[in-house]
Structure 1
């Protein structure tokens, strides 16, 4: 099985590049399942139902969220109608939506996608370690799901690395989001879990975390807000991780960063030769 995870979509630049490129990526890499973090897709803050529909129509199988999950207030309502949109599992009990969903891949395999949010330098939600441990106990790899992908939306790399090792061997992949900057540590952990501290963002990298630079620079210089943060509108870059999974074990056999677009050094995953090719 081959999965693609794409990091936080930021604004129109991110939406456009993902919706334009994703159908071709699905075909080129024979993808069985695609997960995208969409929590910054609506002007940098949250996601609308129309944007969710566009991402699903482009080929996403599941869209995850994070600390901006409910910045668009109608998300509190429409999230209940969509099994393929999930918010962090460690939000308080009673929060609309759900933090995990079990979906079918193109191959027919059952894929459990879980979204969780860190607590270091972010709002103090319930413990993500305990919430994920409980979910993986209830729906374990190979007995409850053929593959398990976790989007850990967190600020601190230490918290992300600790969670990856805590769950090593129990999930197919633990991938970090939120910092909008791809890290260089994509690897398969000793127990067989694919890991990357941050998948990066899908958006305009000629920016400050996907936002036009003037207002962030102003706030660093003066500490006085002069306007709203606005998403940068230049050409977008796709950033994410391609993961090959052993169908027999549900564990990762290979991970390859994917970066496609301006401003960053490209990372183009290798395509295995078809049977009979040299």
Structure 2
């Protein structure tokens, strides 16, 4: 199976980058599954139903979220009917939506897409490790699911790495989101799980983690807010991670970073090109 995961889509620039590039990648790379983190897609904060539909139409099979999951109020409603939209599973009981979804891939395979949020320097949610245990036991790799993709929306590299090792052998891919900067540590862990600390973002890098640079600079240098954060509007990069799996086990056989455009050094999966 061929899986592409794309990091946080930030604002209009990021959306346009994904919508313009993804359909061709699905065809060129014969992708079976595309997962996109969309929690910053609506003006940098949250997601709307129209944007969800736009990303799905471009080729995303599932869209994960994070700490901005419900910044757009309509998400509280449409998330219930958006079967491919997954918010962090360790939100409190009763939160609308789902923390994991069994998705039918383009090749007919069953893929569990799960989303969990870290707790270090983040909102104090339920234990992400215990939440993952419950989810992975209920949809075991190789029995219930042909592949398992886990989006770890977290601030610190240590927590992301710990969750990666905790899921090793039980997931196809564990990938971090939230910090918007792609890391260079994509690899296959000891028991066959592909891992990357942060997929980066799909957005404009000529800013501060996707936001127009002027307001963050004013806040850092003057310690005063003079306006709201707005997404940077320059050319965007498309960033993520590509994984190929062993169809017998669901574990990873090859992994590569993906970076295209937006002034970043380009990386494409050589095994698909």
Matched residues in 2 for 1:113 and 1:61: separation?
10
TM-score for the superposition, normalised by structure 1: 0.97
1:25-36 equivalence runs, <5 A: 25-36=25-36
Matched residues in 1 for 2:86 and 2:103: separation?
12
Aligned length: 273
Partner of 2:252: 252
Q: Is the 8 A contact 1:90 1:125 kept in 2?
A: yes
Matched residues in 1 for 2:41 and 2:82: separation?
17
Matched, 1:38 2:38: yes
1:1-278 equivalence runs, <5 A: 1-272=1-272
Alpha-carbon shift at residue 271 of structure 1 (Å)? 4.3
Q: Which consecutive residues of structure 1, in runs of 5 or more, have no partner in the other structure?
A: 274-278
Partner SS state of residue 112, structure 1: strand
Q: Deviations over 1:54-103 (max 9, x none)?
A: 00000000000000000001100110011100100000000000000001
Partner SS state of residue 231, structure 2: coil
Partner of 1:276: none
Partner SS state of residue 72, structure 2: coil
TM-score for the superposition, normalised by structure 2: 0.99
Partner SS state of residue 80, structure 2: helix
Q: Which consecutive residues of structure 2, in runs of 5 or more, have no partner in the other structure?
A: none
Partner SS state of residue 94, structure 1: coil
Matched residues in 2 for 1:134 and 1:148: separation?
14
Q: Is the 8 A contact 1:4 1:35 kept in 2?
A: yes
Taking structure 1 as reference, are residues 271 and 192 closer, same or farther at Cα in structure 2, changes over 3 Å only?
Answer: closer
Stretches of 4+ aligned residues off by more than 2 angstroms? none
Q: Is the 8 A contact 1:39 1:47 kept in 2?
A: yes
Matched residues in 2 for 1:250 and 1:89: separation?
22
Q: Deviations over 1:147-195 (max 9, x none)?
A: 0000000000000000000110000010000000000000000100000
Q: Is the 8 A contact 1:15 1:41 kept in 2?
A: yes
Matched residues in 1 for 2:14 and 2:102: separation?
26
Alpha-carbon shift at residue 272 of structure 1 (Å)? 4.5
Q: Is the 8 A contact 1:29 1:271 kept in 2?
A: no
Taking structure 1 as reference, are residues 272 and 80 closer, same or farther at Cα in structure 2, changes over 3 Å only?
Answer: closer
Q: Is the 8 A contact 1:199 1:240 kept in 2?
A: yes
Partner SS state of residue 80, structure 1: coil
Q: CA RMSD in A?
A: 0.8
Alpha-carbon shift at residue 114 of structure 1 (Å)? 0.2
Alpha-carbon shift at residue 222 of structure 1 (Å)? 1.5
Alpha-carbon shift at residue 262 of structure 1 (Å)? 2.4
Matched residues in 2 for 1:114 and 1:101: separation?
7
Matched residues in 2 for 1:52 and 1:106: separation?
18
Partner SS state of residue 207, structure 2: coil
